[in-house]
Structure 1
């Protein structure tokens, strides 16, 4: 197939493009920087500079590629685009990504309709943002938590927009868990090594993780099978912060995380971080296993963290 990857130089796009090429697909991939066109060429794609927030730029890029399938992986969460992670002010940290998930999604879908694209696959998120009611592990039938009145609300509204728009257009939405793996660990390990990433309260909030390679595999399956609907792309091991955070610290060669009461964490880290750590809901991958035939090669973050951070203890530097 001809596949158009919007966001081809992102942390997932850099894995997805060569995987699709290796499976015989003709790939056009976008970047916001002409300096990265050489990277896309090395990955096997035809690169194109595109501004995902400019409808003319998007329309021209898609029309020229004339793809069978369009994959929406546009975000701006990296330090280069958004600065250091800031859970207390997620609305500011995610400002451009929010626009890419609202305006950018609309531009891509309009271009897809105008060009006759048959299928769309889009990125969503399912790590700790399940509805904070009932059990700790949610399915695709359970709504996401809107985080009303918090700094996360605009981001959650943007996620809902992606899901509603793409599913209505007959496409597939992949709710990836919290990414880990090469190029995706520094934002987690750096504050741990400085003891700036504590367990809040009892650490009872649950989270789902997914290795970048497994997320890539699931995306390839969604593209090739032309599936529709929402799929949770997470590993087999949803777990509370009281388990995964100390284990991550140990794998990173850091001291055991401090424990901070909620009353102290709230003014320091913000309401979102407190809810994530104490009330977060994780996700089940049963549907993805059953309908996509997907099976994570890294079934648990426990072994996955160890492998991703092997040899990168307290003295390690650079990107994990």
Structure 2
């Protein structure tokens, strides 16, 4: 197939493009930086400079590529686009990604409709944002938590927008867990090594992780099978912060994280960080395994962290 990957030079795009090429697909991948066109060529794609927030730029790029499917991987969470992660002011830090998930998604869908692209696959998120009632592990049937009243609310609304409009188009949303792998957790590991990433309270909040290569392989399956609906793309072991954070520190050769009370974490890092570390829910991957036939190379973050950082 002709596959159009919007956001081909991000941490996930760099792992996705080679997998698509290896499966025999003709890939056009976008970047906002002309200096990265050479990287896309090395990955096996036809590179194109595109501004995801410019409707004309998006429309022209899609029309020229004439794809059979569009894969939306555009975010603005890199240091280049958003600066250092700032959980206390999450709403301001996340503006580039919020715009790409609202305006950018709308531009891509409009281009798909204008050029007759029949299928659409978009990046979603399933890590700490499951509804904070009931059990600790959520399926696709459980609603996402909009965390109203916190600085993450606008980001959660943007994710809801992605799901609403992509599902209305008849596409698929891949709710990736916390991504790790080459280049994906460098900032977090650096904070851990500086002992600036503490455990909060009892650290009972869950996270769901997924290796970049497994996230990419699930996306390839969604492309090839013309999948529709929402899929949680996470590994087999959702786990509380009290387990994964000390283990990540150990794998990184760092000292054990400090533990701070919730009131102090709220003052230092904001309510979003407290929710993540104490109340967050994990996610189940059973649907993706069952419907897509997805098989993980890294079934657990324990194996993945050790291999990446050991």
| Length-normalised TM-score, structure 2 | 0.99
Count residues in correspondence: 310
In structure 2, C-alpha distance between the alignment counterparts of 1:30 and 1:270, rounded to whole Å? 35
* Distance (Å, rounded) in 2 between the aligned partners of 1:22 and 1:69: 17
Cα shift at 1:21: 0.9
Structure 1 unaligned spans of 5+: 311-320
Once residues 218 and 13 of structure 2 are traced to their aligned partners in structure 1, the CA distance between those partners, rounded to angstroms, is: 13
Q: Deviations over 1:13-42 (max 9, x none)?
A: 111111111111111110001111111111
Taking the aligned partners of 2:303 and 2:119, their CA distance within structure 1 comes to: 35
- The alignment partner of 2:89 has SS state of helix
Note the alpha carbon deviations across 1:217-266, whole angstroms, 9 max, x for none: 00000000000000000000000000000000101111111110101110
Question: 1:239, 1:81 → 2: CA distance?
Answer: 30
Task: Note the C-alpha offset of 1:205.
Answer: 0.4
Distance in 2 between residues matched to 1:162 and 1:129, nearest whole Å: 15
Matched, 1:212 2:215: no
The residue matched to 1:120 in structure 2 has which SS? Answer: strand
Quote the Cα distance in structure 2 between the aligned partners of 1:16 and 1:249: 28
Distance 2:18 2:251 in 1: 29
Instruction: Report whether the alignment pairs 1:21 with 2:21.
Output: yes
Partner of 2:2: 2
- Identify the residue that residue 316 of structure 1 maps to in structure 2: none
Spell out structure 1 runs of 4+ moving beyond 2 A.
Answer: none
Aligned to 2:262: 262
1:117-266 equivalent positions in 2, closer than 5 A: 117-266=117-266
Matched, 1:41 2:35: no
Superposition pairs of residues 62-77 of structure 1, within 5 angstroms: 62-77=62-77
1:55 corresponds to which residue?
Answer: 55
Deviation at 1:187, TM superposition (A): 1.3
Q: Matched residues in 2 for 1:9 and 1:181: separation? A: 15
Could you tell me how far apart the structure 2 residues matched to 1:269 and 1:245 are? Answer: 17
- The structural deviation recorded for 1:180 is 0.6
Alpha-carbon shift at residue 303 of structure 1 (Å): 1.4
CA distance in 2, matches of 1:185, 1:63: 35
Distance 1:13 1:261 in 2: 38
Note the alpha carbon deviations across 1:190-218, whole angstroms, 9 max, x for none. Answer: 11111110000000001100000100100
SS of the residue corresponding to residue 87 of structure 1 reads: coil
Question: In 2, distance between residues paired with 1:48 and 1:201?
Answer: 47
Deviation at 1:104, TM superposition (A): 0.3
User: In structure 1, what is the Cα distance between the partners aligned to 2:257 and 2:240?
Assistant: 14
Distance 1:78 1:214 in 2: 21
Q: Counterpart of 1:85?
A: 85
Distance 1:96 1:193 in 2: 28
Give secondary structure in 2 for the equivalent of 1:124: strand
Which residue in 1 is equivalent to 2:105?
Answer: 105
Deviation of the 1:185 alpha carbon: 2.1
Equivalent-residue separation in structure 2 for 1:187 and 1:145 (angstroms): 25
SS at match of 1:88: coil
Deviations along 1:36-58, one digit per CA (max 9) or x if unpaired, are 11111111111110000000000
Pairwise CA distance, 1:296 = 1.2
Please give the alpha-carbon distance, in whole angstroms, between the structure 2 residues aligned to 1:212 and 1:159: 20
The separation in 1 between residues aligned to 2:38 and 2:21, in whole angstroms, is 16
Residue 284 in structure 1 maps to residue 304 in structure 2: no
Aligned to 1:11: 11
